Structure 1
């Protein structure tokens, strides 16, 4: 068994959503079912545009008096503003909290006191909120772990550019297709129902440093996608599924290969 590691995720921030309408309010907005969220449970969700594009990712943690939203720190104010726009007469309070977010990762999943399991993949580990834990890893180490598993992050989908299915939210427990309506649901459900999933984010491997964000991935002379975030030897890419099967791929003049994770192909 590998040695567990703890990293403080300074790129994440917390919003408390409280009040008698907290869960029903969020349930009508987010791509995940919130009404049945239990205390101490964590779910992954997206807040979409009315056109069905991904605006923000959120982890939703059940607490006694409402929920906590674990969001990208640089986008927390924008998320609060967006939720406030939808609030209308709902009995809901939105409060930005000075609360650290930590991740425990790097060994076989099991129950850990004070942590909640990451709902996307068991291999991603657990998350914790509020405790000042002694970190023995950097956030960059956690990001390397995430990328090794082929899981995209906020740097890959930006804001209002990508459909959540293209960012694999349907494979990472980020969309509940059986729940009622949510913002952007019509487009999301139609893509799933019709099977019109032409693009997905997949990890690519190569020698040397990652190509610049937005670099074209070519299948021969045909555009097959673009490079997203990455590091030496590995990156995420948004790829056309009909052009990568069996193709010799290049980016920035260098050969690339797709390393499709088991959780995508299962």
Structure 2
């Protein structure tokens, strides 16, 4: 990949999406019960029918994609190429992060609903005069549909890039870019070779650094600040308007987060989506587990003491 093109530092948000900054949606946190319902819906716990939603498909892929050691491997990704003279202006008016950061390397961002809820997360990287977009395969069709809906007459072309993701935590090959979420997540590169990685235990890394994954910790009811997007370099509060910006900014500046993702110690194992209780009261949801630790969505005022998830004991780290 080449990284020679420079972005105009005076670029303004797209007028085509500016209207979304006027959203008056509530910024209140999603309830524990609603989140459990969303997780169970994604994992089809309540139905024998095949799952068809993007989140459900990715959840099953994430649960089933394991190597012969039982270690989680990465989920399949789709790489799109956005090109045209208005590409960066177009993206700037939609995504949670500042497109101008492409000058510094890879950008992690999300597309939100006007109410500030999660739709998709993805990586952006400059490739010559175009921008590559790396998204989980089960979310790709819906994301592409939404991008085309917002595009209108913008001079932007969106097409398959004909590239695949290579990923690892060891020595980075030529052309690789650092994963912007956390140094522990290593590097990402895009080539014509089949998708692959270096065998890193991604679940163990994510749990150790509380990094959410689409379809597991990141679901349609998610608010990105509760999912740690500020810590993961996935949101910018100075860039200006984007879809869902008003709710996200209000949660940052006018409220204290009462719920969110956190690392916990787990004595035993419980299914992803198991409700966490404290003194019999709902306190959260248990997600990815590895090495006696896990990522959990917690209600912070109930997460100080010993908690239960199914038949296992959970303690906040």
Q: TM-score range by the shorter chain?
A: 0.7 to 0.9
TM-score between both structures, scaled by the size of structure 1: 0.84
Q: Are residues 1:220 and 2:285 paired?
A: no
User: RMSD over aligned Cα, in angstroms?
Assistant: 2.3
The equivalent residue for 2:310 is 252
Choose the corresponding residue for 1:32, options 97, 114, 120.
97
Q: Is the 1:8–1:101 contact (alpha carbons within 8 Å) kept by the matching residues of 2?
A: no
The equivalent residue for 1:202 is 262
* Unmatched tracts of structure 1, length 5 or more: 1-6, 260-266
* Unmatched tracts of structure 2, length 5 or more: 1-71
Q: Deviations over 1:131-161 (max 9, x none)?
A: 538967447x223322232211112344421
- Number of residue pairs aligned between Structure 1 and Structure 2: 246
CA separation in 1, counterparts of 2:195 and 2:224?
34
Choose the corresponding residue for 2:191, options 130, 150, 168.
130
- 1:116-195 map, 5 Å: 116-132=177-193, 137-138=198-199, 141-195=201-255
TM-score between both structures, scaled by the size of structure 2: 0.71
Q: Once the 2 structures are TM-superposed, how far is the Cα of residue 128 of structure 1 from its aligned partner?
A: 0.7
Q: Is the 1:115–1:128 contact (alpha carbons within 8 Å) kept by the matching residues of 2?
A: yes
The equivalent residue for 1:234 is 293
CA separation in 2, counterparts of 1:25 and 1:242?
40
Is the alpha carbon distance of 1:181 and 1:135 closer, same or farther for their aligned partners in structure 2, counting shifts above 3 Å?
Answer: closer
Q: Is the 2:276–2:284 contact (alpha carbons within 8 Å) kept by the matching residues of 1?
A: yes
Q: Once the 2 structures are TM-superposed, how far is the Cα of residue 197 of structure 1 from its aligned partner?
A: 1.1
Q: Is the 1:155–1:229 contact (alpha carbons within 8 Å) kept by the matching residues of 2?
A: no
Is the alpha carbon distance of 1:122 and 1:197 closer, same or farther for their aligned partners in structure 2, counting shifts above 3 Å?
Answer: same
Q: Once the 2 structures are TM-superposed, how far is the Cα of residue 200 of structure 1 from its aligned partner?
A: 1.1
Q: Once the 2 structures are TM-superposed, how far is the Cα of residue 249 of structure 1 from its aligned partner?
A: 1.2
Greater strand fraction, Structure 1 or Structure 2: 1
Partner of 2:297: helix, strand, or coil? strand
The equivalent residue for 1:84 is 148
CA separation in 1, counterparts of 2:275 and 2:101?
42
